[in-house]
Amino acid sequence: MKLQAHADAAESRKTQVNEKGIIKLVTNQPERYSLAREFYRDPEIYERDIARIFMNAWLYAGHQSEIPNVGDWFLFELADESVIIVRSSENEINALLNVCRHRGSRICVENKGCSKILICPYHAWSYDLQGQLRGAAHMDESFDKSSISLRKIHVELLEGMVFINFADKPSSFAPVRDGLAGCLSPYRLENARVAHRQAYLIESNWKLAVENYCECYHCAPSHPEYSRGHSLAWPAKLTEELHEELLGRAASCGLGTDFVNRTYLEAPGFGADFAYERYALIRGHVTGSEDGKPLAPLLGGIRDYDGGATDLQVGPVTYALMYCDHVVIYRFIPLSIGMSECDITWLVNGDAEEGRDYDRDKLTWLWDVTTHADKVIIERNQQGVNSRFYQSGPLSTMEEYTWNFLSWYLDTMKKPDERPG
């Protein structure tokens, strides 16, 4: 008891010091500068990132078309957590923690599969698709199977996109659903399907990957393929002209104009439940392809190419690029303090057939080549930040959204801990 009390006191002192240290780092952070080195390297700060951000945010897990049949499942993995996303016998989607209720083994060990019953490979306890324990051999007579089930976390479907949340009482998903209804409805993504999905490992802290995604300052030097067709990499004057043209075309293409706006840069900014912006592609480009030409059948109720694309954000680490004929969903996840994963999903119309209606290599070319380039620059960024001589540097006016992310992050780090106890 005495030893335990001593350990507890030491632990609380450590937390106190660390808490003060973090607050000091946040307080000393200059406006519109990159973060101090500790934010990318300190294990305590990393644990705080996981606890405050990833255990509370709505996170994109996948698309419902990946698990069309009862018993289909795939894994969502983040830091030390693993979640089984499974279609239940009731045709609902459940998110079950992949932690056996016997002695804690992982139950599903492949990335995806199909099974009517989930069997732990260690001592063969078996669970149904609701997570309820069904079988456990050689247990005491008094053992009550009905009281044991895998822990479920919250799931929400947004037009077929599966979002999960680890929190006991997550923030309501209704504002996301309501706020994005106009923006998403022309695409009818609940009828889309996954044409390709790929995970890219990036040897960096997750924040460097998000910071990079949030700005297009680097697009001209690093992404010639992207810059050819996307106006965000071009001077503002041209962007404005193209934007006017886009507004003139959108309605006749079935896209409406009410979601052509600049919500990204308006209050409440980063950390809000969602953000979106539709912007023009460069003339001669109708989608995100190598030659600017169509890649796949038009999505949902879209009748023609309006020459625009929508940038979308849901929660802090899920983004999408919505072209008229395909949608590219990005999700950034930390695997450890110095390793992150960029998971990309390419969605096409549910009826589209590979080979007949689209070519997978052509469909994925732009964002594959762009993500490989991003991986290189983000990893070099981390290498520089690792230097003892790294110092915070000033941001450009083209990095306004990155600063939105960083200031939201700093606020999240500094808030008093609301967890009970």
Give contact residues for ligand FES (rule: CB under 6 A). 100, 102-105, 120, 122-125
DSSP state of 230: B
Choice between 133 and 322, CB closer to Fe ion: 322
Contact assessment for residue 66 and residue 84, using Cβ atoms and an 8 Å cutoff:
no
Query: What is the residue-wise DSSP string for 83-112?
Result: EEEEE-TTS-EEEEES--TTT---S--SSE
Query: At closest approach, how far in Å is the CB of 107 from ligand FES?
Result: 7
**86 contact choice in Fe ion, ligand FES, none (CB below 5 to 8 Å, kind-dependent):** none
Q: Which is nearer to Fe ion, 72 or 374 (CB)?
A: 374
What is the closest distance, in whole angstroms, from the C-beta atom of residue 166 to ligand FES in the complex?
A: 21
Residue 291 carries which DSSP code? S
Residues 6+ away with beta carbon under 8 Å from 310: 183, 259, 276, 277, 278, 279, 320, 321, 322
In the complex, minimum distance from the CB of residue 344 to Fe ion, in angstroms, rounded to a whole number? 13
Q: Where are the beta strands (DSSP E) in 121-241?
A: 126-127, 133-135, 152-158, 161-165, 192-202
Of the pair 343, 374, the CB lying nearest Fe ion is at 374
Whichever of 148 and 377 has its CB closer to ligand FES, that residue is: 148
**Closer by beta carbon to ligand FES, 60 or else 127:** 127
Residue 112 contacts by C-beta under 8 Å, 6 or more apart in sequence?
Answer: 66, 72, 73, 74, 75
Which does residue 374 bind out of Fe ion, ligand FES, none, counting CB within 5 to 8 angstroms by kind?
Fe ion
- The number of beta carbons lying within 10 Å of the beta carbon of residue 227 is 18
What single-letter DSSP state applies at residue 281? B
- Shortest distance, CB of residue 82 to ligand FES, whole angstroms? 14
CB of 316 to Fe ion, least distance (A): 18
Closest to ligand FES by CB, 138 vs 388, is 138
Question: C-beta of 19: minimal distance to Fe ion in Å?
Answer: 35
| Site of tokens 């077929």 | 160
CB closer to Fe ion, 289 vs 381: 381
Residue type, 132: Q
Can you read off the two tokens belonging to residue 405? 């992310």
Residue-wise DSSP of 29-95:
PPTTBPPPTHHHH-HHHHHHHIIIIITTS-EEEEEGGGS-STTEEEEEEETTEEEEEEE-TTS-EEE
Nearest residue (CB) to ligand FES, 120 versus 189: 120
Q: Interface residues with Fe ion (CB under 5 A)?
A: 374
Q: Which residue is nearest to Fe ion (CB)?
A: 374
Min dist. Cβ of residue 123 to ligand FES (A): 3
The separation between CA 245 and the C-alpha centre of its own chain, rounded to angstroms, equals: 31
Per the CB < 8 A criterion, the answer to whether 87 and 71 are in contact is: yes
Q: How far is the CB of 148 from ligand FES (least distance, A)?
A: 11
